[in-house]
Structure 1
Amino acid sequence: MKDPRRKTVMKIGSNNLFSVGSRVEAISIGSRNVFEAKSRVSPEVQVGSDSVIGAGTTVVSEPDLHWFENARDPNAEEDEDDDERQRRSRLLDTLVIRTLPDFTVIYGASSVQSTWSGEGIGQAIGLHAKHLLYLAETLPKFHRIRSSTSSSSKLPPPSSSSKN
């Protein structure tokens, strides 16, 4: 999937579950991940496989100490040359990528990171398959497909009588 704001392609694995309202902009996403409602993942993050990003959590890249050391002092005078401006601009353009390992769980209001042991992976895969089966059966029952006839065929035929 090509994001117009960046020049790289987002890589998404198979069997991921994206809940309504989740916003995932990660560089790459492994397989069998769950992104719960209102979760957010920033573009500077790589998500491994079998991870859970909890409802309402936010995952962002951790700041690099080098960035803070070279950041511009807001109290400094405005006299800086073009080379210094370009160097700072390049520094801001560099991304520090945060990689979430496999079996990562992000939860809570403060987005605490934990690691899942992987115990019960078979049950989790079975539950996910059951959800997919349920959606495959339910969606066709309630989704109304509109006919593909052209709108001109729905117009009434022109009247043959003319008014003088």
Structure 2
Amino acid sequence: MPSDIVDAFKVGAKSVIVADCDLRGNVTLGAGTILQPRCTILAVAGPIVFGENNIVEENAVIVNRNQEPMLIGDNNLFEVGCRVEAQSIGSWNTFGIRSRIVSSVMVGNHCVVGSGCLVQADPFASPFRHPEPLHDARDSSQPGTEGEPTASTPAESREEGVSELDAQAAGYPTSAAPSTRSTPADCLSDYTHVFGSENRRRKAGEEGGGQSRALFVKHWEYLRETLPRYHPLKMF
């Protein structure tokens, strides 16, 4: 790991960051982020920008080896021991236990990578196309609760998986962010599931999405209540 990395942390409200997690480099953690014990966030080359309400479990490793910012959306679950180096990640994704995503891949929304699966560039993949952004179906007249995940509808997706405010917090102009990113070799489009010992892919439907989001919300609420009771937290 380069010795000239300069730490610069920005942490949103309602975040729970345990003391023995490892943060290095330029890292922005959106509101409601939960980092569990012994997880590792390494912004080796470029910054890492998290959206809201992401959960990073024990011994998970998230690394950015690219000069461009690694943009992560909302409500993603990084399970125990996974290693994720994707160029960018959308929202409502699950990375299973000891799964791995290489740096030449971009992940869309609502994807599931099974336990122990490896996602790398598909040599037979069609030319890259950015995944379609998801739009929030909620009535804008209805007020929501800031910083808390919503089970009934997906969180508002953002181009490249990050809001304009998050992009500004990372220190680069939002208008230039999409055009300056290098083209990934492969992309997991929305609702892709990776499974089995051969890392097969299939396109899943939207059935059961509400139930899975409700389960994520329960998980998030339980961790926010329980972790501070048994683990010292980082103070920023």
Same fold at TM > 0.5: yes
Unaligned runs of 5+ in 2: 1-26, 28-42, 46-64, 126-181
Look up the SS of the partner of 2:224 in the other structure.
helix
Work out whether 1:40 is the aligned partner of 2:100.
yes
RCO (CA 8 Å, sep 6+): is it higher in 1 or 2? Answer: 2
CA root-mean-square deviation: 2.2
Relative to its length, the structure with more helix (as a share) is 1
Work out whether 1:133 is the aligned partner of 2:234.
no
Would the aligned equivalents of 2:87 and 2:184 in 1 still touch at CA under 8 Å? Answer: no
In structure 1, the residue matched to 2:188 is 100
Change (3 A) 1:113 1:64: closer
Work out whether 1:118 is the aligned partner of 2:118.
no
In structure 2, the residue matched to 1:155 is none
Change (3 A) 1:43 1:143: same
Unaligned runs of 5+ in 1: 66-93, 147-164
1:56-93 Cα shifts (integer Å, max 9, x gaps) = 0000002379xxxxxxxxxxxxxxxxxxxxxxxxxxxx
C-alpha distance in 1, partners of 2:217/2:185?
31
C-alpha distance in 1, partners of 2:122/2:222?
38
TM-score, normalised to structure 1's length? 0.66
Over the matched positions of the two proteins, sequence identity in percent amounts to: 41
Relative to its length, the structure with more strand (as a share) is 2
TM-score, normalised to structure 2's length? 0.47
In structure 1, the residue matched to 2:136 is none
Kindly tell me the number of residue pairs found equivalent between the two proteins: 118
Match of 2:81 among 16, 21, 42: 21
Would the aligned equivalents of 1:105 and 1:116 in 2 still touch at CA under 8 Å? Answer: yes
Larger Rg: 1
In structure 1, the residue matched to 2:113 is 53
